């Protein structure tokens, strides 16, 4: 599914607003007195989350137990908690997990709550679609983003390049010159460790080469020699082992490690979530501050190639435990709306996340906020390229009840290619065969 976050779509959303009956009265639900509700997240924006929870507790009188876990292990942490029947209420969700968690009965729909559904009128459609499974909606949006191609303008200027690369072939050409000039040992920084990020790190390559993981019938396309995924895997292997513009250490490099290395000026190019532009251009946090720009994802070769990237949505999900009693349900839904909706008729948390840490949102009307526009002017040189890239983002075509199990094999298969232990065709075939096996098994 191609995301659609173009300017016209944003403007079309102007004037849309959500009703606020859940937060209209923050008096403490009488039956919830003494109960503590839980909020479970991965370790991101921790200060902002804690601050917003404290404000909620003060306004509502409802106590909240906040837990967070490293992002790379978050899904496994949730699965362990659910399988051990640990009571959870509000959880952060990855759009890729929706079918699996819904089928397992770990999350529950919220589309029977008109007050929460009213927010959909001011949310990009692809975001609400990402929270749906079998026609039911399972949450309110936390944030949306996509992988961006970032470059160090100062380094490219020194090498004599007037423009950043527009194709992956040009990435190789510019990368080799940067190596020859001694400006960067490994000009392209990639995070290819086998964690939850990997499929979204690979996605820009697969989609910019015009590739897919599955066909319209849901069967794997990874054995198809004409699939752009094969060209993408071949390019990535060659970038590491033939051209040596990507470090072989990328297979153990996490997203945060790649960010730190790029921020220190070790490479000229990086693929990172667009929200990292805030950190990279902050003099207090990055040596390269002021020199990082975003360009459209380079295009691969092939008939369906283009400047596509991988996009995703994260959201607040509700567990069945949260709806076990009317009092608990009321308290948890207030908390969900406090984060995913409005507070005092303002999108407080969404705006805080963008201004403090650069995390984008799905809310159409917020794109006209003067503080938001000033943010993009200051840190990204305007919102134009980010919005254009967002409109060309593709959501993963592998979201299914068996995604979690399949992705373990998929990560291993791609890593075997990066390590030159398998040919690109063999690596992708192993991943594709596992997909078809699980699809048949799940029916």
At 73, the pLDDT band (50, 70, 90 cuts) reads confident
Can you list the alpha helix ranges (DSSP code H) found in 188-307?
Answer: 198-208, 228-241, 255-263, 277-280
pLDDT in tens, 259-271: 999 999 999 999 9
At 230, the pLDDT band (50, 70, 90 cuts) reads very high
Is residue 151 over pLDDT 90? yes
Indicate the range of 41-45, 161-165, 194-198, 276-280 predicted with least confidence.
Answer: 194-198
Question: According to the model, what pLDDT value does residue 124 have?
Answer: 87
Q: Burial of 401 by CB count in 10 Å (0-12 exposed, 13-18 middle, 19+ buried)?
A: buried
Among all chains, which residue has been given the structure tokens 């979690």?
A: 404
Residues 351, 117 contacting (CB under 8 angstroms): no
Q: Burial of 303 by CB count in 10 Å (0-12 exposed, 13-18 middle, 19+ buried)?
A: exposed
What residues have CB less than 8 Å from 443, skipping those under 6 apart?
none
**C-alpha to C-alpha distance for 392 and 270, rounded to whole angstroms:** 18
* % of the chain at pLDDT higher than 90: 84
**C-alpha to C-alpha distance for 58 and 422, rounded to whole angstroms:** 56
Residues 188, 258 contacting (CB under 8 angstroms): no
Residue 343: other Cβ atoms inside 10 A:
18
The token pair that represents 278 in the structure block: 């805030």
What residues have CB less than 8 Å from 44, skipping those under 6 apart?
68, 71, 357
What residues have CB less than 8 Å from 102, skipping those under 6 apart?
133, 134, 136, 138, 401
pLDDT in tens, 363-422: 999 989 999 999 999 998 888 899 899 889 988 899 999 998 999 999 999 999 999 999
What are the DSSP calls for 164-210, one per residue? --SBHHHHHHHHHHHHHTTS-SS-EE----SSTTHHHHHHHHHHHTT
**C-alpha to C-alpha distance for 348 and 319, rounded to whole angstroms:** 24
**C-alpha to C-alpha distance for 307 and 367, rounded to whole angstroms:** 23
Is residue 31 over pLDDT 80? no
Question: According to the model, what pLDDT value does residue 1 have?
Answer: 43
DSSP state of 320: G
The token pair that represents 189 in the structure block: 């920084």
Pairing state between β 309-318 and 90-94: antiparallel
* % of the chain at pLDDT higher than 70: 92
Question: According to the model, what pLDDT value does residue 176 have?
Answer: 98
**C-alpha to C-alpha distance for 8 and 206, rounded to whole angstroms:** 28
Question: According to the model, what pLDDT value does residue 16 have?
Answer: 34
pLDDT in tens, 319-360: 999 999 999 999 999 999 999 999 999 999 999 999 999 999
DSSP state of 212: -
Q: What are phi and psi of 67, to 5 degrees?
A: -125, 145
Mutual orientation of helices 46-60 and 326-340 as an angle, nearest 10°? Answer: 130
Residue 308: other Cβ atoms inside 10 A:
27
Per-residue buried b or exposed e for 379-399, using 16+ beta carbons within 10 Å of the residue's own CB:
bbeebebbbebbbbbbbbbbb
Residue 374: other Cβ atoms inside 10 A:
11
Q: Is residue 51 classed as helix, strand or coil in its secondary structure?
A: helix
Of residues 343 and 2, the one with the higher pLDDT is 343
């Amino acid at each position: 599914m191609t995301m659609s976050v173009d300017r016209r779509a944003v403007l079309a959303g102007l004037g849309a607003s959500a009703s606020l009956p859940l937060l209209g009265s923050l008096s403490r639900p009488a039956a919830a007195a003494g109960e503590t509700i839980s909020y479970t997240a991965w370790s991101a924006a921790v200060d902002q989350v804690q601050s917003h929870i404290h404000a909620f507790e003060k306004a509502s009188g409802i106590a909240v137990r906040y837990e967070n876990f490293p992002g790379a292990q978050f899904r496994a942490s949730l699965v362990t908690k659910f399988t051990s029947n640990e009571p959870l209420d509000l959880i952060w969700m990855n759009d890729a997990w929706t079918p699996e968690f819904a089928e397992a009965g770990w999350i529950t729909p919220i589309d029977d709550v008109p007050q929460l559904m009213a927010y959909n009128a001011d949310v990009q459609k692809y975001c609400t679609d990402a929270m749906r499974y079998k026609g039911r909606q399972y949450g309110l949006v936390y944030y949306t983003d996509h992988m961006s191609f970032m470059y160090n303008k100062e380094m490219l200027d020194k090498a004599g390049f007037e423009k950043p690369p527009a194709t992956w072939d040009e990435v190789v050409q510019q990368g080799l010159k940067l190596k020859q000039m001694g400006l960067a040992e490994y000009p392209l920084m990639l995070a290819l460790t086998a964690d939850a990020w990997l499929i979204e790190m690979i996605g820009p390559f697969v989609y910019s080469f015009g590739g897919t993981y599955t066909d319209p019938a849901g069967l794997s396309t990874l054995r198809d020699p004409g699939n752009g995924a094969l060209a993408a895997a071949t390019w990535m292997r060659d970038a590491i082992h033939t051209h040596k513009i990507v470090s072989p250490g990328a297979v153990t490099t996490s997203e945060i490690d790649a960010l730190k290395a790029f921020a220190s000026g070790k490479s000229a190019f990086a693929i990172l979530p667009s929200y990292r532009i805030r950190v990279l251009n902050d003099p207090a946090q990055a040596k390269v501050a002021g020199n990082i720009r975003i360009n459209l994802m380079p295009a691969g070769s092939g008939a369906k190639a283009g400047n596509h990237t991988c996009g995703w949505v994260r959201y607040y999900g509700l567990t069945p435990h949260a709806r076990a009693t009317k009092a608990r349900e009321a308290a948890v839904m207030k908390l969900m709306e406090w984060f995913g909706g409005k507070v005092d008729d303002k999108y407080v948390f969404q705006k805080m996340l963008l201004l403090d840490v650069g995390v984008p949102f799905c809310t159409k009307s917020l794109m006209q906020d003067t503080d938001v526009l000033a943010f993009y002017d200051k840190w990204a040189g305007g919102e134009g390229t980010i919005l254009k890239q967002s409109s060309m983002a593709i959501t993963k075509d592998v979201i299914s009840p068996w995604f979690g199990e399949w992705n373990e094999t998929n990560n291993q298969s791609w890593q075997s290619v990066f390590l030159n232990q398998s040919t690109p065709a063999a690596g992708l075939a192993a991943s594709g065969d596992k997909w078809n096996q699980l699809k048949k098994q799940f029916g």
